Amino acid sequence: MIRPAVLLLLLFAPSLMVCGQGYQKRLALVVGNSSYQLATPLKNPVNDARAIASALKSTGFDVLEYENVTQAQLKQAISAFGQKLKGYDVGLFYYAGHGVQAKGVNYMIPVEAELKSEEEIEYDCVAADRVLAFMETASTKVNLIILDACRNNPFARSWSRAAGGGGLAMMDAPKGSLIAYATSPGRTASDGESANGLYTSALLKFMRNPSLTIEQVFKQVRNEVTDKSGGSQIPWETTSLTGEDFFLGSVPTAQTTKQQVIASNTEKDPVVKREVVVPQVDVSPEKKAQAELFFNQGKIYYDKSENAKALTQFNKALDLNPGLADAHYYRARVYYDQSEYDKANPDFDVAIQIDPTVSSYYYWRANSHRMVRQDDQALLDFTKSISLDPKYDQAFYWRARTYIDLQQIENGLRDLNHAIELNPSYGDAYYTRALTYYDLSRWEEAIRDLNLSEQHNGESANVYYWRANSEFSLNQYDAAIKDFDAAVRVKPDYYQAYMYRGKVKFNQDRYKEALVDFRKSTEVNPDYMDGQYWIAVTLYYMDDYKGSIEASSKVLANSPDYTYAWYYRGLCEYTLDMYDEAVADFDKCIELKEDPDAFYWRGNSKYMQLNYAEAIADFTKALELNPNGKSVYNYYYYRGNSYYSLKMYDYAIRDFSKTIESKPDFADGWYYRANSNYSLGKYEDAIVDFNRSIEINPSKSDYWYYRGLAYFYSGNKESALADINKAIRLNPSETRYTDFKSRNF
């Protein structure tokens, strides 16, 4: 099922300051539509909306929340939001649910809509532009629109004619704005298996970090989503931001939010502010006894994982005795096990209000909050659980996981250390700490913890996989291959393990074996574009350029924003003298990412088209982006050749001098500087450079021939004849040499 996966953020701000006095009052409207009546229901939007609302509250927003709204309700909510927004500095609108485009306009689909044709969209849905219009009239200083809207039209199959391609339309970013998509324009992304969608989970992870600018937030989100989707979903942004940096995760200094009030009271009691009403009912001893019987029976069913029967018994117990805390708690546990977190939390709340001294109540409510990314509330509850039971190793562990999700790595490692101190055989804690070390490039420590995880938890494909990746990072290739072998033995469909085992073999120049692994990864998961990409790369290194082009084209047909698939296809086309096609592919690569090598190879392609002026511009850009790289001598060298071809010899000499400075043993650098000096009539300077090129590579006949010409025109005909004879001996079939000799000697 295709899930809502587009995230669009429009940020209008003439001056984007973090916590200046102009950004104190913040208002958000958050809408989640999951329960569609006539279209495919969606799992994540309501959970996503609740989690986003919680995160926004923690960053100083007043939040208006709506779920499963009709067209009329959505319009009313937007209008009310627009009117209220006039008193605020910052406005934010978030929508999660189905979305569709028509004639270049993006629409949100209400829960009751039944779209029988494209023509009905305008009348039965709500245009995203409606929100923007209210924001523009409110005169707020910063406006954000976030659309986590489905990129797959749920009604398209029933239409008599096809509408436009899947997904929302690309929107231009006005000045002072940033538009971010969860995946590239016209693409779709799968519905998430967890409580939140892949893109929203990543956004929640980074949006509250006060040290990240809004651009950095989306860069981190893009990296995480691309990695976790195996390259099949790559977030996309266009931006026209101006002014100073804007930090979404920074709480206004002059405003005390509700979350801050709760946090300030944490030391006393973090749950007092939950505003839970516990029914005050006089219960007879007989009813209490009967309720206890129902509860105990329910507990037996629960322990046997017979949740439906358990729920019936807990309901009976609570009908008789609403004040039975354990019945509320275990009913909440049933809901939690069924991923019904919106039902679990109220029961956890009541259990805690009845008996605020039970550590496990807070622990499980924390986990319930965590599952819908209400991380601030989860942290409060984990902390309370630990204060009641300082030896609760699992509470330390899951608080650590929450901290790590929020990029509070030091806090996370501290809690993992506590969990392990309390329980030295806690295999999961070693595993999580290992992955944290891996992300910090502390690979030796990661390997140590993965060994301990295996020792305590037994054989695990994931342990083998991450230990192999750590060994790979340390260039311990044989050990890495051994662990990747073990990973696929335990889990034969572990397509990432096949792919990374292939990368190890690729690094060992074992291209044929690497190709087998890359193909296996795509056989197991045909949508795994990273595997397909590495097939293309490997075929390029095996000189199978047509095969590489075919593999790259498969990647791009599925993921048109896969930057380096364009790059490698361009390299193959260049090698096959398909310069027009190569330039077009390097254009696309550069559009996605300004990579210096892409500019360099586009410059080479234009050079081969005799388009020297544009080639020089590309080589210059490559040098600006990477002035100290290992290949910088090539950048100067080919720019020098372009100047040489335009007879701009002084410029050419300057670049060839930089080439020689960067790579003194590069014979062609000396040779072409010599030729440039020769063209300027500086024969003595040319002879010095020809001497050096011949010292480095005495087998190149042209080196001897052109030094001979320099000798000839400087008046040293004896040396000229000796060099021309040497050139003829090295390459007897070259008529230039023999013709010159016959004419002049």
pLDDT level of residue 22 (50, 70, 90 thresholds): very low
CATH code at position 75: 3.40.50.1460
Highest mean pLDDT among 30-34, 112-116, 207-211, 485-489 belongs to 485-489
Tell me if 247 is assigned to some domain.
Answer: yes
Last residue of a domain, one of 262, 277, 292: 262
pLDDT level of residue 280 (50, 70, 90 thresholds): low
Tell me if 89 is assigned to some domain.
Answer: yes
**Angle between helix 443-457 and helix 427-439 axes, rounded to 10 deg:** 160
Q: What is the pLDDT of residues 585-640, one digit of tens each?
A: 999 999 999 999 999 999 999 999 999 999 999 999 999 999 998 889 999 999 99
C-alpha span between 419 and 416 (Å, rounded): 5
C-alpha span between 90 and 86 (Å, rounded): 10
Strand 90-102 and strand 105-108: pairing? antiparallel
User: What mean pLDDT is predicted for residues 730-743?
Assistant: 96
Least confident of 203-217, 457-471, 612-626, 646-660: 203-217
Strand 142-150 and strand 90-102: pairing? parallel
For the chain, give the mean pLDDT: 87
Q: Residue 331, class by beta-carbon neighbours within 10 Å (0-12 exposed, 13-18 middle, 19+ buried)?
A: buried
Tokens standing for residue 541: 């290194």
Sequence-distant (≥ 6) Cβ neighbours of residue 616 within 8 angstroms: 603, 639, 642, 643
Q: What is the pLDDT of residues 540-571, one digit of tens each?
A: 999 999 999 999 999 999 999 899 999 999 99
The number of folded domains in the chain is 2
Residue 403 CB coordination number (10 Å): 22
92's enclosing H/E stretch is: strand 90-102
Position 9 scores a pLDDT of: 35
Tell me if 734 is assigned to some domain.
Answer: yes
- Residue 672 domain boundaries: 665-745
Statement: residue 390 has pLDDT above 90: yes
Tell me if 313 is assigned to some domain.
Answer: no
Tokens standing for residue 625: 């982006």
Tell me if 298 is assigned to some domain.
Answer: no
C-alpha span between 138 and 517 (Å, rounded): 57
For residue 701, give the nearest of 725, 673, 675, 676 by alpha carbon.
Answer: 725
Position 150 scores a pLDDT of: 60
Last residue of a domain, one of 201, 230, 262: 262
User: What mean pLDDT is predicted for residues 495-508?
Assistant: 97
66's enclosing H/E stretch is: strand 61-67
What single-letter DSSP state applies at residue 253? T
Position 187 scores a pLDDT of: 61
pLDDT level of residue 2 (50, 70, 90 thresholds): very low
Position 55 scores a pLDDT of: 85
CA distances to 82, 413, 615 from 70, rounded to whole Å, are: 18, 45, 56
User: What mean pLDDT is predicted for residues 98-102?
Assistant: 84
Backbone angles phi, psi at 388, to 5 degrees: -80, -25
219's enclosing H/E stretch is: helix 214-228
Secondary structure of 513-528 in HEC code, one letter for each residue: HHHHHHHHHHHHCCCC
Position 479 scores a pLDDT of: 98
Q: What is the pLDDT of residues 669-728, one digit of tens each?
A: 999 999 999 999 999 999 999 999 999 999 999 999 999 999 999 999 999 999 999 999
CATH code at position 703: 1.25.40.10
What single-letter DSSP state applies at residue 2? B
Backbone angles phi, psi at 64, to 5 degrees: -100, 125
Tell me if 76 is assigned to some domain.
Answer: yes
pLDDT level of residue 16 (50, 70, 90 thresholds): very low
| Single-letter amino acid code for the residue at 323 | G
Tell me if 739 is assigned to some domain.
Answer: yes
Tell me if 660 is assigned to some domain.
Answer: no
pLDDT level of residue 265 (50, 70, 90 thresholds): very low
For residue 200, give the nearest of 373, 62, 404 by alpha carbon.
Answer: 373
| Single-letter amino acid code for the residue at 87 | G
For residue 383, give the nearest of 359, 412, 407 by alpha carbon.
Answer: 359
Last residue of a domain, one of 262, 291, 306: 262
User: What mean pLDDT is predicted for residues 7-30?
Assistant: 53
Q: What is the pLDDT of residues 317-370, one digit of tens each?
A: 999 999 999 999 999 999 999 989 889 999 999 999 999 999 999 999 999 999
- Classified as helix, coil or strand, 261 is helix
For residue 470, give the nearest of 458, 453, 490 by alpha carbon.
Answer: 453
As a whole-number percent, the residues of the chain with pLDDT over 90 amount to: 64
As a whole-number percent, the residues of the chain with pLDDT over 70 amount to: 85
Whether residue 599 contacts residue 621, with contact meaning beta carbons closer than 8 Å, is answered with yes
CA distances to 16, 246, 560, 563, 605 from 550, rounded to whole Å, are: 45, 43, 14, 16, 20
